[in-house]
Structure formats: C-alpha cells, structure tokens
C-alpha cells in the first residue's frame, strides 16, 4: 500500500472535525498540567487549526515541516491558526486518533506568506492557456478528493469552486518573488506590537511571553489575508493542501506559516568553524536574487558563476579546477620554501625542478638552443629545419628509420606518434600487466576537426598550419619550404584522422584483441613489431625485462594499424618524418622562451578561446606535481593533510559498504542466491583508496624512486627531458609485475 492510499484510508478519522462548526473535541489526557478546556474544531467561532500529516517512517508524529519530537520542530507550519491556543493538533500514527501537542517553550522565529496548491503564483494570477488548464485540473482534483472522502458530489463542486476562488484571491495578495528583497522582508516586531498593528488576529499569542520578538517577513500579505472573509471554503483549501503536500514539500505551509526554531543548544546546532565555513561556502555559491522555481540552475550556481568567470588562460572552468587552484596555491608556498639539511631528497628534487622552471631569465637567454640540441640527434632530425641549418641538422632518407624514431620519441619524450605503446593491467586478468598497442592522438583535439568542413574545423586547421609553419621558421627552416612541406604534413595528418577508429566504435569488446607478437607480425607484416616493442620495453637498467616473439599484446585497433601501413606506404618518407618531428616539437613548445609561448597563445586563442598565458608559477607548480606526483604528494601531506579526515572518510566508506551488504541480504528480493552471494563477495572485495597511498610516507621508497633524476637549477629544458624519460619508462617498468591493489 503506498503512502497516499494509506492516508486516504485513514481520512475517515478526520471527517467529523473537518465538517466545520458541527462538533467540539477534547484532547486526550497528557502529562502536562494545563490544557484547554474545550478547544474548538475548525469553523467554531473563526478558530482554525492546521492538522499535521502522518508520513512514512518509524516515528510517532510527523507533520508538514516538522520532524518528531514535535517540541524540537525546526520549522512547524501553521496555517490559519487560532493563535490563542497553545496547542496544535496531530494525527497520531500510533493510535490513529487526533492528539494535542503543546507548543510551550518553543521559540517563534518568523512569520511569512506560504505556498499555494499550484507551484507558481502566476498559475492563479494570469489567464494563459497553461494557467487555465492547471486551475481546471486542480479544481477537478479538489472535487474528486472531497467525494472520495464522503462529500456529496454537487456540494463538493460548489464549495470547492469557492475554495479555489479563495485561493486565487490569496495568490493575488502574495508578494511576488521579485519584490521580496532582504530589506523588505526584515520587519522586527514584538507579539504585542504585532497585535496592535493587526488587531484582527484575535488572541494572537503563540507564546505565553508577549514580549518575545519575531521577524514578520511579509506584513502586507498578512494584513490582506486576515481581512479576507473567513468562509467555509477556507476549510476545503486547507484540507486539500494537507492532502496534496508530498513529503518532499513538507517545509511548506499554507496561507500563513510561522517558523518555529529549534531550542538553541550546541547539541542540536553545529557551530564549529568547519560547519560555519561549509554553510558560508554554500551560501556564497547560490544566487538568492533568482527564483529557484523558475531557474534552479542559476539559483544554485549563480553566485559561484558570478564570482568565478572562466580565467583568461583557460578554455573552461568548474569546481574541480577551482579546488585544484586552492591546492596549487598551497603547493606554491611549499615549493618556494627554502630547503634544509634534513629535507627528504625527493622533496628537494621537486623544489629544484620548480626553481628551474621559474628562472625565466635563463629560459630567455637559452631561447631555442635546447630544442636545437635535440634536433641535432639522428633520431630527432627534422627534414624541414635541416634544410635551413644544414650540417649536423641535415636529414638523410637513407639513414632514417621510422621504427627507431617512433621508439626514441616514446622513450625520450614520453610521446606516442602514429603508434601508442603502453603497459597497463590486462582487462580480463586485472592482477597482471600486459603490453597494449593502440592508435595515437592528433595535433588538434578532435578527429572531427580534420574530417568535417564546418567553419570552426576549417578555422582550426588553418590556425594549426600557421603554427606549424611559424614554429619551423622560428627554429631555422626556410619560410617557403616550411609552407610547402607543412601543408603536406597536415594533409598526411588529415588522412590519418580519417583512418582513426571513431570513439563511438571503440567498445571494450572491439578493443580487446589478444595477439602474440609473432601472430601480429603475420597479420600486419609491413612493420617490425617485435623490433619496435623491444626498442621501447627493453632497457639496460633492467636486464631481466626482455621481449620475444611469443610476448602477448593487446591490439586495441587492428584495422587502424592495417590502414596506417597502407597510408605510410603511399606517403613519401620526408613528409612522414616532417610530421613525426613536428609532433615532437609541438609537445615541447611551452618549455621554450616567451616568443614561442606567445606564438602558441595565438594558436590557442583560436582553438581553445584562451586569451592569456598561464601565470608562470601556476604552470610550474602544475608541471612539478604532474611529473613528480609522489614527492609533491608527500610535501602536501606532511603540511596540510588532516589525518583524522582520512580516518573519518575510511569509516564512512565502511559504513556505506556494510549498509549496502545489509540491503543485499535483507531487502533485495530480485537476485537469486548465487548472484547475491557474488555481490556480497564483491562488496567485501572493493578496496577503498582515500587521500594518499601509504608508501608516500616511506622515505626510502620515495628517494629510490627518483634516484635516477639529477636536476640542475640552471637547465629547465634538460630537467624536463629527464622527467619525460623517467615518465616514459615508469609504465613499462611494471611489465612482469603483479598489479598492486594499493597503488
């Protein structure tokens, strides 16, 4: 039986006293010493009361806006009340009878206009087709509910029309939302002054203390309301609102609502600095000038949006970047603090890397020289730049190996071009790592930026081509050759985009294709797969990590690789080499001097909408924390992390786990026993990872992890290349190891 069906069946209990003016009723005996001799039922001499609803749950009293016990109500809604009485009346779920509840010692906070049956005041005050339809539907419901409870049909039709007419007049005197300013709604009164101001409220004394002050939020509405004729129609309106109020609207009253505050005590209100800060945080994010019924998003988030515009150096912004910024501010202070003799070696390296990044004068002096040193190495020679610089920069097709170049870019720059190779847990055996081969990324963010001809896609491609040409020229390439050869490189990348598997087709099933390297070689013979994997995975630092033709790999896009080989075969080597080296340089532009940074900003203005460079400190903090994750994590944990919060969250997670298991075992009725058993086992097996992994508190582990990194405060580019090599080898180092569940 649902809540409303049960409630309607109980409604016979109400029927007698809701027939206005025909009976009187005494409350049952209670422990208090005084009680009204004979409180009248609705309609007796204009005395009205608001009956509080029984609602689902293991409680004795429930009500509109009130959670039991009643004398601790946080907001008790009283509509058209006989304010002379010090009792209100409830329907007890226990006895099924009407009982009296004393309101003595409950402090009144405020008086305000309250809600209507329909959601909006305009549903009554306008004559739009929708408003008329809503009122007709409401009237039909009013009549039907009254008849269901035993009212004569004709009388119900007539009297409910009057009740709705009354509520329509009530809607007209409500103060519109746009006029309810914080100033207009703050009117401080004592009860005695209020009595003099509105004498029609006969015997108004919610409290025995008539000197008690309260805030009258809507004086005009209250005056208009009490001057209206109190007809029997009012009873129908009130009763209908009782029946119609769902539990989620339980804080709404009808006609006049009086707020009854909780007793002030530390036990019932959280007034710790954390609670006050949390409350202030919520209030600062909402926009109280917006009607939540009309635009809930703006009401909920408007304050935050006004105070947090998208930064000029970002293409988007939200609560997580905002939180990240607060963490970055703290990390900035920690990284800028001087090192001492006892400082953890890993933390000292993080500070050196940060300081080298912040040394802009050295970066300006170095300009493009660090990048040019890289381009002089055989595997990284850029054909286009070699035409301009000659000598050691000159590229020779006979000496160039695509396999060697792709492997070195992966190892030295932690960058995947054309072919992405990485090591991660096997999707079908999550305790073991396996090599995976996949399609790689493009220069522009989206495949559709190449495959469509929308105005924005054309604009992005034009901006990219311009950047490709300008960067090549800045590094020494002849301008005309740069224009010609970069056009060919972009045309190659456009063809590459067309053979990429679209995101919507990359399902977990289609991307799990288990091969041995020998089988992959037979399937796609145009490329030396074993040679490529050995060049990336094997290392002199780890002689035990060897690869053979029987090595299992997961090929996530077999068709892409087949099409890639056809594309490479149809494209001249110079164009492929220009494209591959462009992708390498493109990933390192932001580590160079400001002329490169500003040229990249011109490109980003078009493709992402950013209009300024990221502040240098912010850029450097982000680079250090993304490169040396555990070292910066340790630095933050030692200074700012509150261990009791981690413990509290772990306890909370355990509570959720056991509540879920309890629900599975006691309430779930659709799972069969074997399935339920597996579900419980899985719930037990879920590992909670809160705050940080415990190993970052291990000094030896952190120092050994970064042992190979030797940073120089005066060589930021060199430091970056070290970290890229370190990151590039970090994932392949997991091969042959079991997946640690605590990582």
Q: Is 2 left (phi over 0), alpha (psi -120 to 50) or beta?
A: beta
How does pLDDT run across 326-344, given as a tens digit for each residue? 889 999 999 999 988 889 9
> Over the chain, what is the mean pLDDT?
78
Residue 258 has pLDDT above 90, yes or no: no
Tokens 């509520």 correspond to what residue?
Answer: 167
Report whether 457 contacts 576 (CB < 8 A).
no
Return the H-helix or E-strand segment holding 423. Answer: strand 419-426
In the chain, CATH 1.10.1380.10 covers 368-591
The pLDDT score that the predictor gives to residue 201 is 53
pLDDT per residue over 191-249, tens digit each?
A: 666 666 776 654 433 333 333 334 444 444 444 433 433 322 333 333 333 333 333 33
pLDDT the model gives residue 578 = 98
Q: What is the mean pLDDT of residues 524-537?
A: 97
Nearest CA among 534, 525, 583, 524 for reference residue 557: 524
- Per the CB < 8 A criterion, the answer to whether 425 and 434 are in contact is yes
Who has greater pLDDT, 742 or 173?
173
Q: Which two tokens stand for residue 508?
A: 């977990």
Count CA atoms closer than 13 A to 448's CA, side-chain side. 6
**pLDDT tens-place string over residues 407-428:** 999 999 999 999 999 999 999 9
Is residue 75 predicted with pLDDT exceeding 90?
no
Q: What is the pLDDT of residues 288-325, one digit of tens each?
A: 899 999 999 999 999 988 888 888 877 788 888 888 88
CA distance 504 to 706: 39
Which band of pLDDT confidence, cut at 50, 70 and 90, is reported for residue 96? Answer: very low
Q: What percent of the chain has pLDDT over 70?
A: 74
CATH 1.10.1380.10 given to domain 368-591 = yes
How confident is the model over 439-451, as pLDDT tens digits? Answer: 999 999 999 999 9
Which pLDDT band holds residue 190 (cuts at 50, 70, 90)? Answer: low
Q: State the angle between helix axes of 402-413 and 573-586 in degrees (0 to 180), rounded to the nearest 10.
A: 0
pLDDT confidence band for 6 (50 / 70 / 90): very low
643-690 residue pLDDT tens: 888 888 988 999 999 999 999 988 888 999 999 999 999 999 988 888
* Range in 21-25, 74-78, 342-346 the model is least confident about: 74-78
Mean pLDDT of 519-541: 96
């Amino acid at each position: 039986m649902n809540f409303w069906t049960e409630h309607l069946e109980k409604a016979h209990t109400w029927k007698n006293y809701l027939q206005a003016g025909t009976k009187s009723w005494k409350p049952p005996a209670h422990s208090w010493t005084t009680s009204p001799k004979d409180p009248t039922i609705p309609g007796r001499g204009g005395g009205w009361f608001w009956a509080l609803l029984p609602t689902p749950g293991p409680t004795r009293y429930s009500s509109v806006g009130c959670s039991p016990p009643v004398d601790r109500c946080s907001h008790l809604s009283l509509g058209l009340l006989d304010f002379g009485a010090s009792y209100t009346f409830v329907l007890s779920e226990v006895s099924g009878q009407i009982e009296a509840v004393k309101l003595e010692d409950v402090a009144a906070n405020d008086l305000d206009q309250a809600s209507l049956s329909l959601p909006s005041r305009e549903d009554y005050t306008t004559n739009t087709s929708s408003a008329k339809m809503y009122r007709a539907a409401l009237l039909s419901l009013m009549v039907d509910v009254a008849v269901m409870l035993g009212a004569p049909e004709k009388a119900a039709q007539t009297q409910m029309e009057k009740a709705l007419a009354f509520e329509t007049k009530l809607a007209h005197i409500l103060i519109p939302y746009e006029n309810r300013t914080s100033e207009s709604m703050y009117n401080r009164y004592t009860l005695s002054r209020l009595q003099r101001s509105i004498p029609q409220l006969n015997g108004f004394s919610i409290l025995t203390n008539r000197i008690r002050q309260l805030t009258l939020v809507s004086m005009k509405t209250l005056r208009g309301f009490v001057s209206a004729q109190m007809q029997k129609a009012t009873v129908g309106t009130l009763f209908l609102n009782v029946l119609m109020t769902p539990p989620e609207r339980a804080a709404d009253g009808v006609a006049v609502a009086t707020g009854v505050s909780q007793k002030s005590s530390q036990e019932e209100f959280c007034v710790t600095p954390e609670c006050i800060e949390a409350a202030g945080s919520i209030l600062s994010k909402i926009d109280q000038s917006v009607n939540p019924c009309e635009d809930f998003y703006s009401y909920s988030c408007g304050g935050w949006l006004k105070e947090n515009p998208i930064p000029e150096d970002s293409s988007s912004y939200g609560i997580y970047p905002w939180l990240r910024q607060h963490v970055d501010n703290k990390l900035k202070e920690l990284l800028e603090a001087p090192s001492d003799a006892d400082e953890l070696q890993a933390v000292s390296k993080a500070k050196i890397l940060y300081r080298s990044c912040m040394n802009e004068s050295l970066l300006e002096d170095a300009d493009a020289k660090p990048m040019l040193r890289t381009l002089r190495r055989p595997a990284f020679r850029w054909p286009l730049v070699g035409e301009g610089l000659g000598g050691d920069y000159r590229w020779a097709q006979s000496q160039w190996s695509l396999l060697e170049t792709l492997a070195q870019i992966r190892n030295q720059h932690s960058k995947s071009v054309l072919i992405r190779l990485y090591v991660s847990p096997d999707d079908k055996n999550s305790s073991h790592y396996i090599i995976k081969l996949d399609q790689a990324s493009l220069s522009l963010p989206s495949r559709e930026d190449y495959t469509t001809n929308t105005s924005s896609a054309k604009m992005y491609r034009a901006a990219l081509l311009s950047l490709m040409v300008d960067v090549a020229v800045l590094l020494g390439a002849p301008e005309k050759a740069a224009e010609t050869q970069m056009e060919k490189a972009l045309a190659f990348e456009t063809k590459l985009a067309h053979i990429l598997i679209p995101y919507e087709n990359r399902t977990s099933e289609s991307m799990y294709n288990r091969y041995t390297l020998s089988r992959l070689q037979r399937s796609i013979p145009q490329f030396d797969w074993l040679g490529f994997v050995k060049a990336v995975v094997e290392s002199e630092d780890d002689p035990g990590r060897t690869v053979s033709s029987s090595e299992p790999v997961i090929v996530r896009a077999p068709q892409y690789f087949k099409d890639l080989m056809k594309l490479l075969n149809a494209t001249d080597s110079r164009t492929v080499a220009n494209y591959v080296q462009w992708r390498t340089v493109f990933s390192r532009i932001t580590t160079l001097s400001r002329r490169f940074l500003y040229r990249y900003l011109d490109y980003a203005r078009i493709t992402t909408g950013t209009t300024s460079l990221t502040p240098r400190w912010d850029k450097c903090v982000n680079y250090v924390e993304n490169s040396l994750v555990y070292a910066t994590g340790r630095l933050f944990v030692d200074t700012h992390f509150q261990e009791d919060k981690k413990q509290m969250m772990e306890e909370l997670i355990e509570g959720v786990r056991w509540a879920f298991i309890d629900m599975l075992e006691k309430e779930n009725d659709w799972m069969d026993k074997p399935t339920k058993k597996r579900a419980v086992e899985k719930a037990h097996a879920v590992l909670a990872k809160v705050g940080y992994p415990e190993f970052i508190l291990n000094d030896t582990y952190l120092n050994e992890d970064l042992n190979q990194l030797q940073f120089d405060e005066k060589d930021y580019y060199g430091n970056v290349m070290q970290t890229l090599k370190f990151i590039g080898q970090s994932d392949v180092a997991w091969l042959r190891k079991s997946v640690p569940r605590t990582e």
